[in-house]
Amino acid sequence: MNELEEKRNQEENKNVEIRIKDVDMTFQDNRGNEVKALAGINLDIFKGEFISMLGPSGCGKTTLLRMIADLLEPTDGSIRVSGMTPKEIRMQQKFGFVFQQPVLFDWRTVRKNIELPMEIMYYTKADKKQRADEMLEMVGLTDFAEHYPKQLSGGMQQRVNIARAFGGRPEILLMDEPFSALDEFTKEKLHEDLLRIWKQTNKTIVFVTHNIQEAIFLSDRVCVLSPHPGRLSAVIDIDLPRPRTQKMKETLHFSELYGKIRNSFEGGSI
């Protein structure tokens, strides 16, 4: 019996990509007071999953993402990615990161921006070109390959950002409110694009957002974080079928999920 259970645990472990255990994060503010940003976070993220961190500002969702990416270290607790520390995974160049702002290099063309991670990873010239072509096509920017970022609209810049992140073939893609600065129409289009690309590549995506609808539309699971201190209030399965369509947003089930998420913020609705 015990053996069987252990075996099942191992099976499960195989599918766990990121294991967050008892993570606390404490910052010092300007006056030297300690501010608890995250308290007692426990979460397993599975391989190939699209998971969202949802919460109001100050709930520590970005902090959690940055800890996975090895941009921050937890004060307490541990984070393991495929059994290794975030630093080890980062050194193996397995992360992709999409910032809120496009963070493109002005002096590089769209193609060259997409090739940047590949250059850092020493891809051969032919590989780089082929992969960049693929990525350009994937985000629909083939005609803009030789343009410079400043010549593109905000939505197009963000698509370059996404193409750059996927281009380096990351195992795990971390996205920090990538669409929050875009208008509603561009956002919807990019949601569909992102889901299509995700399906093609089968990567694990950790997606930070403060938009409930966006979280439901994109994710397999939504982690609801509440502020002061940041803590995990609920993890909600989104059982909407895939591929997701804009029409689903008008269904009753979608509203139910919306309400469920809303009510799971601690202290009631926000």
Partner 1 sequence: MNRLLNKKWFSVVFWTLILVVAWETGAFLVAGTKRTPENILPHLYQIIGAAFSTNKVTSDQTALQIVLINAGQTLLRAAIGFLLGTVLGFGLALLMKLSGIVEKIVFPYLMLIQMIPILGMAPIILSITGSINTSRIIIAAILTFYPVATNTLAGFNSVEKEKHELMYIYAANKFTVYTKLLIPGSVPYFFTGLKISAPMAITASILVDTLQGDGGLGCMLSQSLKHAMSIYVFWLIIFFSAFIGIFSSYLMGVLELLFTPQKHAERKKEGK
Candidate list 26, 75, 82, 93; residue touching partner 1; CB under 8 A:
93
Site residues (CB under 8 A) for partner 1, limited to 49-88:
69-71
**Is the Cβ of residue 69 or residue 212 nearer to partner 1 in the bound state?**
69
3-state helix, strand, coil in the chain (%, to 5): 45, 25, 30
**Nearest distance, CB of residue 13 and partner 1, angstroms:** 26
For the CA atoms of 154, 155, 161, 164, the dihedral, rounded to the nearest 10 degrees, stands at: -130
Q: Which stretch binds partner 1 (CB under 8 A): 99-107, 128-136, 209-217, 253-261?
A: 99-107
Candidate list 30, 107, 239, 247; residue touching partner 1; CB under 8 A:
107
**Is the Cβ of residue 38 or residue 174 nearer to partner 1 in the bound state?**
174
Angle at alpha carbon of residue 192, lines to 166 and 233, rounded to 5°: 85
Q: How far apart are CA 254 and CA 155, in angstroms?
A: 26
Site residues (CB under 8 A) for partner 1, limited to 155-214:
168
41: nearest Cα among 31, 28, 55, 29: 55
Candidate list 29, 106, 143, 184; residue touching partner 1; CB under 8 A:
106
**Is the Cβ of residue 92 or residue 245 nearer to partner 1 in the bound state?**
92
DSSP states along 205-250: EEEEES-HHHHHHH-SEEEEEETTTBEEEEEEE----SS--GGGGG
Please, which residues have CB within 8 angstroms of residue 90's CB and are 6 or more apart in sequence? 69, 70
**Nearest distance, CB of residue 30 and partner 1, angstroms:** 18
- For 121, the 3-state DSSP assignment is coil
119 binds partner 1 (CB under 8 A): yes
Q: Which stretch binds partner 1 (CB under 8 A): 23-31, 76-84, 95-103, 193-201?
A: 95-103
Q: How far apart are CA 135 and CA 115, in angstroms?
A: 10
Q: Which residues bind partner 1 (CB under 8 A)?
A: 69-71, 90-93, 95-97, 99, 101, 103, 105-107, 116-117, 119-121, 147-151, 168
